[in-house]
Every structure is written in structure tokens, then in C-alpha cells.
Chains A and B, each alone.
Chain A
Amino acid sequence: MNQLYAWGAVAGIVSASTAGDVLLSRGMKQVGDVAELRRQAGLVTVIARVLRNPNFVLGVAAMAVAFYAMLFGLSWADVSLVIPAATSLTFVTNAIAARFFLHERVDQRRWMAALLVAGGVVLLAL
């Protein structure tokens, strides 16, 4: 039963943090290159435009949900299971979500990088 709770928490963290990353990425693409925007319109305009973007705000909210899911997960299961499992799976789910929701061209190179890093993160926890 404890295992079920632990993996439930991992699923919660992975879903919320993937949603957060995808929303932040979509929001920031809508805002545009911030360095260029800062040169043209100034820092205050950049900050205002970022904070007014609904995708950015939702992304930050999703990341807050992921953070609380992690706190709950850590109270149910070992840190050595929850953190590496959630971190490495997030690399894989982000690649899938970026392909479908952000229409990024996730080619062999990107897949290989995501899987290598995901595998590396698991090894770091051993």
C-alpha cells in the first residue's frame, strides 16, 4: 500500500511539473526573446508582459502544485525513491509533452539526450 502511495506521489509530481514546464515554455515563447524585448522596451515592460501572461501564471501555479506533491510524497516514502524517480521521469514526459503540446521537433538527438540524462539521474541516486 505504501508503495502505491509513493508511486502515486511520483505520478503527481511528474504530471504537475511537466504541466508547469510546458506552460512556462509556451508562455515565454508568447512573450518573445526577453533580451531583445528588454533592449527595445526596457526591463519593466518585460516583467509586466511576463507576469500578465496567463500561461506563465498557470505554469508557476502548476510548479507550486508539484512542490507540494513532492512534500507529500516525501512524507509517505523515501527521498531516495521519490526524487530520482520523479526527476528522471520528468525528462521523458517533458519530451513527449513538448512534442504534442508545444510542437517541438523531438528528433532522435533530443530523445537520446532526454533518455541519457534520465538514466544518469537514476544512477546518481544509487
Chain B
Amino acid sequence: MTFRRYLVLAGVSVFAVTGDSLVSRGMKQVGSISLHDLPGIVLVVFRPEIALGIFFLLAFFACYTSALSWADLTYVLPATSISFILLTLVAKFILHENVSLARWMGVLLISIGVGVVTQGPALTHPPKAKKSECLGATASARLEP
């Protein structure tokens, strides 16, 4: 694993949290929209917060698909679940919400899960790609400076 690849994984988590939070905040300001109000549904994407949120969600999808091009699905999904941890930290320290003990336990479990998976190799089944990549993080770091 190279530093750039860790950045892509971090991008998946950070962009997902930022995009979701912006869209959620934007939609709360708009209030409820009826399904019959088609122009309202379309025009809502031009509100600055929602447009910025969609931009971040596109960045999330670009990072996610990029990560899947060089890592296993069973590596990418747990590794990027730090987004749940970030979301809890945002809730506690920025939104000043009350975070229960159960939620902190959840954060702890997810942190251990992220730690466990990222200690192992990112790719275990190179289809047509270089076989060397399946040897593990050390090998891929050496081969891809």
C-alpha cells in the first residue's frame, strides 16, 4: 500500500461524510417536498449546500471506484467504515449532540475492525494484474514507489 492509496481510502470516508452532511443540512432547510412537485425536486439540486454536497458525493464515488480497481471489496468496505467514526465525532464535537456509551462502544468496535483489515493485504486475487500485488502490503509498497 502506498501513501497515495491510503489517501484514496481516506477520501472515500471524508467525502462521503461531508457530502451526506451537506445534503442533509440543505434538505432540512428546504423542508418536505411533495413527490408531485417535480420542478421543486429538480430545482433543489441548485441550492448551494445541496450542489456542494452532490459534488462531494461524486468525489466519494470516484474515490470508491478507484479503490475497487486495486483492492478487494472485503478490504475497501471495512477500511472505509471510518466514515461512521467521523460522523460520530462530528455529532459530538461540531453539532454538540449527546453521544451515548453504546455509540462510543460502536466506534470502538469499528476502529478495531478497520485496524484488523488494514493490517492485511489489500488484494488477494489479482485477476490478470501483477501477481506480486497479492503478496501483501510490504510487497506492493516496494513495487510501487
Interfacial residues, chain A to chain B (CB-CB below 8 A): 21-22, 24-25, 28-35, 50, 56, 91, 94-95, 98-99, 102-107, 109-110, 112-117, 119-124, 126
Closest to A99 in B: B74
B107 and A102 contacting across the interface, CB-CB below 8 Å? no
Chain B interface residues (CB < 8 Å from chain A): 4, 64-66, 68-70, 72-78, 81, 84, 88, 100, 102-103, 105-110, 112-114, 116-117, 119-120, 124-125, 127, 129
Further pairs besides A112-B113, A115-B113: 16, Cβ < 8 Å: A29-B68, A91-B78, A104-B73, A104-B124, A113-B74, A114-B77, A114-B78, A116-B78, A116-B113, A117-B78, A117-B113, A120-B105, A124-B84, A124-B88, A124-B106, A126-B106
How many interface contacts (CB-CB < 8 Å) are there between A and B? 127
The CA-CA distance from A114 to B117 in the complex, in Å, is 9
Q: Pick from B65, B100, B105, B108 the residue with the most CB of A within 10 Å.
A: B65
